[in-house]
Structures are given as structure tokens and as C-alpha cells.
Amino acid sequence: MKSQSNPSVFLIVVLVWTWAFSWTALTGQSKWNTPEGDTYVLLGTLGSMGFVPLAVLFALREGGWRTVVGFLGKTFIVPLQVKPWLLALVPAALILVGMFLGANLFWRGSWNFTPALGLGLLGILLFAWLEEVVWRGYALPRLLERYSPTGASLRLGLMWMLWHMPFFWVVGYSEWGPWGFLAWAPFYFVYTFYFTWLYQRSRGSVLVATVSHTAVNGVIQWFQPLSIENAGSLFAAGVLALFLFRKSRMDERSESVD
């Protein structure tokens, strides 16, 4: 059954919410580690995590708690085939290749392997899961009800790309700024197409998408050669080639997953 809410409106509301809170928080970034900076930290948290309560509110308005449980329950769709799990790791493998080429062939950078263990790894996994529950669990199925896989990916990819923009000005990434965002923007945009294809191949499994997202975030944070931002464009080109190769197959499976 087609959902009553407009997913494009949801994406716009999420983007406005994130930008409003995140950019306001960044104005007080120099005070984040001081008592008077607590308000700015709270604003930043609301900005980066606001998509979760917004998805719940939209789902409640759409069909009550049953709808909320419905999209949260997609987390527990576990494909029994091995192939979807292997496909989930392809983006992380591609970005590793991009980093290797960037560090060893073009910029001669050095590798810095700093694995996030314990709470660090749990944090990467948790945030990836929260994103995927909303992007692939809530937004994507509703977009696929109204648009082709390509059209749905275009809309979600554009929003996801712009949604990440404020984070490039956060301490630790602030040296990247606008150039870092421009380098990574193709990555976020094209990765959305791969996510759509993976979503359909795994019969709507949010868990498979979470594994892919976690693997990519882990690689980005664990392996940091010089000019890491340049790896985004290399990776985007690889995923774009894969998407174009599979486009006809993806369009054949355009029926949305309930």
C-alpha cells in the first residue's frame, strides 16, 4: 500500500533541521570543551541526530506506532545468502584501493592505521545503524513507491550529500572545509545509488546496509594516508562504473519492498 506521506518533504525537513542546528552549533565550536559550550554541543547533537526523531514523527503521522515498528523491524531482515553480505563490503574495498593509489602513486603519503576498538567501534556501528534505519528503512521504500530506483537514488543522494556538509567544519575535519566537502560529495551521492541496488538485492535488509556503512566508516577512520579527501573521487568513479553496469538489472527489480 502506498504511504500517505511525501518522502521528499521528509528529506527537506531533515536537511533544514540538520543545517539549522549544526551550523548554529559550529558558531560556538571554540567553546565546545568549556562549560559554557554545553549548549552548542547540545545543538550539534540535535543537528546530527535529528533525523531519527523526525522519521519517528513522520511515521506516527502516517500510520501510528505500527508504521514505526514496521520500518524499525527492517533491521531484522537477515538474508541467508552469502552474496549480499559480500556485496556490502565492496565499497569499503574500493575505497581502500583508492587510498592505496592516492598514498603510493600520486601523493606519496604515509599510512596511519588506528583501529577503533571497543566503544569506538560500537559508536561507528551504532551511528551507521541509526542512519540506515532512517535512510534505507524509512525514506527509501517510500521514495521507491513514487519513483524509479534511479529517481529515488537521485533524491536521496542529493539530500544525503548536503546533509553531510556541516560535518566538514567540525574540529578534526575543519582543515578539509569546502575543498574536502567538494572532494567527498561525489562519494556520498554515488554511494546512495549503490545502497539502493544493495537494498533491492538483499530484499530490503537494513542490516546489510548497516554492515556496508560501518565498513566504509571504519576504513575511512582507521586508514588515513595523506590527501585522504582525494580518495572520495576515486571511490566515487569506481562505484559509478559498477552502478552503470548494473543499472538495467536494478530497474528490472524496481518493485518496492514492503
The pLDDT score that the predictor gives to residue 258 is 46
Q: Is 177 left (phi over 0), alpha (psi -120 to 50) or beta?
A: left
If one compares 239 and 141, the residue with the highest pLDDT of the two is 141
- Overall average pLDDT of the 106-113 stretch: 52
Percent of the chain with pLDDT over 70: 70
Is 224 a member of any domain? yes
Residue 244's pLDDT band, with cuts at 50, 70 and 90, is low
Contact residues for 145 (Cβ-Cβ < 8 A; gap 6+): 2, 3, 256
- Overall average pLDDT of the 83-97 stretch: 86
Opening angle at CA 81, ends 222 and 78, nearest 5: 70
**Mean pLDDT for the chain overall:** 79
Is 57 a member of any domain? no
The pLDDT score that the predictor gives to residue 226 is 42
Is 150 a member of any domain? yes
Residue 144 grid cell:
521507491
Domain count, the chain: 1
If one compares 122 and 161, the residue with the highest pLDDT of the two is 161
- Overall average pLDDT of the 83-99 stretch: 84
If one compares 112 and 71, the residue with the highest pLDDT of the two is 71
Given a cut of 50, whether residue 146 has pLDDT beyond it is: yes
- Overall average pLDDT of the 56-67 stretch: 92
pTM here? 0.83
Lowest-confidence pick of 42-51, 59-68, 242-251: 242-251
Please classify residue 107 by burial: count the beta carbons closer than 10 Å to its beta carbon, then call 0-12 exposed, 13-18 middle and 19+ buried.
middle
Is 92 a member of any domain? yes
Distance CA 136, CA 160 (A): 12
Is 7 a member of any domain? no
Is 68 a member of any domain? no
The pLDDT score that the predictor gives to residue 256 is 46
Phi/psi at 245 (5° precision): -65, -35
Is 194 a member of any domain? yes
Domain that holds residue 243: 75-252
DSSP three-state, residue 223: strand
Is 62 a member of any domain? no
Distance CA 161, CA 215 (A): 19
Given a cut of 80, whether residue 71 has pLDDT beyond it is: yes
Residue 55's pLDDT band, with cuts at 50, 70 and 90, is very high
Question: Distances in Å between the alpha carbon of 152 and those of 49, 77, 165, 234?
Answer: 23, 21, 21, 24
If one compares 122 and 163, the residue with the highest pLDDT of the two is 163
Comparing CA positions, the residue from 162, 165, 181 lying closest to residue 229 is: 181
pLDDT tens profile 203-241: 899 999 999 999 988 887 776 654 455 555 566 666 666
Cβ atoms 213, 167 nearer than 8 A: no
Given a cut of 70, whether residue 3 has pLDDT beyond it is: no
134, 140, 145, 149 alpha-carbon torsion, rounded to 10°: 180
Cβ atoms 134, 52 nearer than 8 A: yes
Comparing CA positions, the residue from 136, 155, 143 lying closest to residue 71 is: 136
Phi/psi at 223 (5° precision): -110, 115
The pLDDT score that the predictor gives to residue 4 is 64
DSSP three-state, residue 175: coil
